[in-house]
Amino acid sequence: LNKAVGTKDIPTEVTTAVRNNGGGHWNHSFFWKVLAPAESKEADYQTAASDELKQAIEDGWGSLKDFQAKFNEAAAAVFGSGWAWLGVDDSGKLVISTTSNQDNPLMKAVVKEANTPVLGLDVWEHAYYLKYQNKRPDYLNSWWHVVNWEQVSHNYEQAKAGKLPSTA
């Protein structure tokens, strides 16, 4: 699905519906997998994140705190509805990217920065409005307490091996 978006593989008359609804399904299925209960072992970065992922974050941003600040900055800058992503690019490096609406970094034909996602954050207003109203930065800061670092580490290993993350 993600590879086909933006190509002639999808009939023109259903392209928009497939991109929006298919993208939304994939993005949300992925999103649920990278969440864990707050204060669970999976949400503890120090013990749940793999050494390889920790090193890649330190290599890219210096520290977890600096990475989180850059990720939050990117997520806060999404105009309107969209997503923020941590992914592995073609060179194997971790990158932060954003997409509009229900697009994701696997949709190479329609996104600026294609990569294989290892972590994704829904920044559509529906994701946070009931609890945070229009305070997206508060949502972004709180979200880090429920990231499933075990799953993110697994996604990272898969991406480094050239495999797509599972959404099942």
Q: Per-residue pLDDT tens for 42-91?
A: 999 999 999 999 999 999 999 999 999 999 999 999 998 999 999 999 99
Sign of torsion over alpha carbons 63, 66, 69, 73: negative
Binding-site residues, in ranges, read: 28, 122, 126
- CATH superfamily, region 12-160: Iron/manganese superoxide dismutase, C-terminal domain (3.55.40.20)
Binding-site residues for Mn(2+), in ranges, read: 28, 122, 126
Q: Which residues pair with 119 in a beta bridge?
A: 86
Q: Per-residue pLDDT tens for 136-164?
A: 899 999 999 999 999 999 999 999 999 99
Q: Give the domain ranges of the chain.
A: 12-160
Is the whole-model pTM more than 0.95? Answer: no
For residue 109, the one-letter residue type is A
pLDDT higher than threshold 90 for residue 24: no
